[in-house]
Amino acid sequence: AQKITQTQPGMFVQEKEAVTLDCTYDTSDQSYGLFWYKQPSSGEMIFLIYQGSYDEQNATEGRYSLNFQKARKSANLVISASQLGDSAMYFCAMSPFSSGSARQLTFGSGTQLTVLP
């Protein structure tokens, strides 16, 4: 079974500053993927970034980067140069990729990010 823990229910950041959203995970699978999604008030889950468990480099996508520390089982999301439009709920999720494992996403409880002008 997989478990995702997001310990920050809410975070505030000043516009143009960087912010880190924490995520730790637990799994017995050797091959897995880690995902971050953004959910605005409209409800749609918007994919931000992906990290494979065997990827040696930390993933980056524009202003988003994933600080992957495999030994510590953490996958923190870093948003640089925050914008007002970044205000939303952010979810960390994972899926096993091992043969025979169920290919489904397990989500954390989320972090509500508010960007202040």
Partner 1 sequence: DAGVTQSPTHLIKTRGQQVTLRCSPKSGHDTVSWYQQALGQGPQFIFQYYEEEERQRGNFPDRFSGHQFPNYSSELNVNALLLGDSALYLCASSSGPSPYGYTFGSGTRLTVV
Half-sphere exposure (Cβ direction) of 55: Cα atoms closer than 13 Å: 16
What angle is formed at CA 85 by the lines to CA 42 and CA 50, rounded to 5 degrees? 80
Nearer to partner 1, 1 or 71 (CB): 1
Considering only residues 25, 36, 68, 91, which one is a binding residue for partner 1 as defined by CB under 8 A? 91
Please check whether residue 8 is in contact with residue 111, taking contact to mean a CB–CB distance below 8 angstroms. Answer: yes
Span near partner 1 by CB under 8 A; candidates 22-30, 58-66, 74-82, 97-105? 97-105
Amino acid at 43: G
Q: Count residues contacting partner 1 (CB under 8 A)?
A: 24
What angle is formed at CA 108 by the lines to CA 38 and CA 13, rounded to 5 degrees? 50
Site string for partner 1, 20-59 (x = CB under 8 A): -------------x-x-x----xxxxxx--x---------
Interface with partner 1, residue 107, by CB under 8 A: yes
Find the shortest distance in angstroms from Cβ 76 to partner 1: 17
**DSSP secondary structure, 15-42, as one string:** TTS-EEE--EEE-S-SSEEEEEEEE-TT
Residues that bind partner 1 (CB under 8 A): 4, 33, 35, 37, 42-47, 50, 91, 93, 95, 97, 102-110
